[in-house]
Amino acid sequence: MTELERAIRKLRRKHTVSRVAYRYVSGRPLSGKAGHPYLSRGAGRLAGWQRQVIRFAVPTVGLVATVHPEPVGSLVGSAVLVAGYRLRRRLTMRRFNREYVTPTLAALAPAMGLQTGVRLHVDPSLGNLTPRLAKPLSPAETAVRAWYGERVEPVIRWLPERAQRAAWSVQRTARPVTSKLAAFRRPVDPDQGPRIELTADTPYLTKEQRQLVSSIIGSKIPVSDLVESWNQVGQRVRAVWTVRKRPPARVGVDQVAEHLPRLAEWEFYIGQGAGDRPVILSLRDDSPHIAVSAGSGAGKSVLAELVAVQVLARGGRVVILDRKGSHRWALGLAGVDYCTRPEQMHDALVKLAALADERNTLALHEPEDWNPGARVLVIAEELNATIGQLVNFWAEVRSNGDPKRSPAVSALADLLFMGRSAKVNVLAIAQMLTARAIGGPEARENFGIRCLARYTANNWKMLVPEAAMPRASRTLGRWQVVIGGQATEVQVAYLSATEARALACPRSSGTSEVSGLSSPAGDFLTLRQAIDGGVIPWKLDAAKKRLQRKVGKVPAPRGKSGNADLYARADLVRWAGSESDERISQ
């Protein structure tokens, strides 16, 4: 028997009537080829179950058409419309894959050292991938589409729109019942969305290979601002690129008023992050000082205003060093010391350093969680220019025997090193926060919270080299807040001057719980300083006799300033008021 006869006999045995009938009924290819899965699409065009449906549906429709031709005609028309829609979608996806997926796979396979086993899924809704494939329309096509949109499409969409509205009405009616079923639903991954997904039949890819794959994906598929994640656990390597979630475009006073009552005294709300999540800064856990670096017009003063308003609303004090008048909303507010001249800034910084030193000295004799008093926020605007003005002012007024370095600059450095326990916090603002602008590189390291906007690559590398630099946003009020090397994109809340003043002074009396820096030594005074500042109404000898005789609510000493005792301002005020109350009662 020849080879040809053997092949013919083998072919006849393979394609017997029973075998072909079995393949037809089971959904297998009639040719008998293997490797065609039943549930998923394999090398063939259709899955096994899809072929099965078609093979049973076509003869059934033909049989019914001979008995009932009218309903079958409408059914066939609907099937033709569905088939036309699917065909159009298939042609669009075919062009999409030919433009993006196929060339990318051809570039990826050699990069990973694989010729097969690389699968790539690109969501058509990503960016403007699909609109880029659109061809310009001719005037005739434009006219036809306009006529279709005005005359035909409203008629076609009338019934689906009514059905959708009816479905929404049913959902609203059934909401009391369906809401209780939420406890039985499995949680859905909130990050599921448009993505690029790559699967490779290899257990591991090196760092260089992953970088090359990311570079190819970024160059072949024109979608910007993607976040990638790799999973190499198991027999396959899986990589996913998703669109970075962005904060809302605007955050205002409503969000600030909502979050402010929920925060601790050391926590500050600054805006909304990705996924509309609130972003909270902690001056106790994150860092006692905040560095703000941004270009002109990026909203540096808005961010400082937001923090200052929350300090004032809790009864704290705000000291503003501002030569150009960026915080006019704070003029005249209780608890605010607005310094615009170099001599005012000089005196304020020296007094603040003395206050911080007093509080730290007293903290040595108190429990660990002792509260030294109201929080003091120092807003240093435009430090690049302010430091120079302080240096020049000291050079003009310095006399023989005075230190060469400006005491104000030294005081600012001292505040940065001892501000946490004293509850004196510095918010430093500069277009470029160099080491020279803040008093040295070691002083700049005290800023654990660093906020940047409209930054350059040079500025980012100087301030936060440990964090990956995202692309700078053009949205007004969009900041990158870096804490511990982790950058968080934030839309900072915007407050108008009226809104800021209303939030800063919630008390009906309109007065602050603390006084300004007009006193010589801050919150803790000697008897002489209290008399000079008008805190107590007696002369020094009379005050000492009252202390010896324990007249009224005598204050307890809280520390030492040389040989003199220090008393808390609140205790001295209470002492002076108690004696006047006793006289009235008598």
**Class of residue 234 by CB neighbours under 10 A (exposed 0-12, middle 13-18, buried 19+):** exposed
Question: If we measure between CA atoms, which residue out of 253, 294, 251 comes closest to residue 273?
Answer: 251
For residue 316, count CB atoms less than 10 angstroms from its CB and return exposed for 0-12, middle for 13-18, buried for 19 or more. buried
Question: For residue 518, how far is the Cα from the chain centroid?
Answer: 40
Distance CA 154, CA 165 (A): 16
- The pairing of strands 226-231 and 449-453 is unpaired
Give the count of beta carbons closer than 10 Å to the beta carbon of residue 247: 24
User: Which are the contacts of 200, defined by CB distance < 8 A and separation ≥ 6?
Assistant: 112, 114, 117, 118, 119, 236, 237, 238
**64: its two tokens:** 């019914």
Taking the chain (586 residues) in consecutive chunks of 10 residues, what is each chunk's mean pLDDT?
66 72 82 70 68 80 70 66 74 85 88 78 84 83 86 84 90 88 73 81 89 90 83 91 83 89 90 88 88 85 92 90 85 84 89 86 78 88 86 88 86 80 87 72 81 87 84 84 88 90 63 35 71 81 87 80 75 75 46
Q: What is the pLDDT of residue 188?
A: 63
Q: Which residues fall within 8 angstroms of residue 430, CB to CB, at 6 or more apart?
A: 292, 293, 382, 383, 384, 437, 438
Smallest CA-to-CA distance from 385 within 337, 440, 322 is with 322
pLDDT of residue 512: 34
Check: CB of residue 489 under 8 Å from CB of residue 473.
Answer: yes
Q: Which 3 state secondary structure label does DSSP give 322?
A: coil
Which residue matches tokens 């900072």? Answer: 492
DSSP 8-class letter at 538: S
Return the pLDDT at 584: 40
Residue 190 has what pLDDT? 56
Residues 425-459, buried b or exposed e (16+ Cβ, 10 A)?
bbbbbbbbbbeebbbeeebbebbbbbbbbbbeeeb
Task: Round to whole Å and give the CA distance between 452 and 295.
Answer: 9
* Stated pTM of the model: 0.59
DSSP string, 21-40: HHHHHHT--TT--S---SSS
Give the Cα separation of 49 and 55 in Å (integer): 10
Other Cβ atoms within 10 Å of 236 Cβ, number: 14
Tokens of 212: 């090359």
Burial (CB < 10 A; 0-12, 13-18, 19+), residue 480, is buried
Domain 253-504 class in CATH: alpha beta
8 A C-beta contact, residue 272 and residue 481: no
Alpha carbon distance 410, 418 (integer Å): 12
Q: Where are the domains of the chain?
A: 93-134+191-244, 253-504, 524-585
d(C-alpha 100, C-alpha 111), whole Å? 17
Q: The sheet that has 559-561: what strands, in order across it?
A: 524-525, 564-568, 559-561
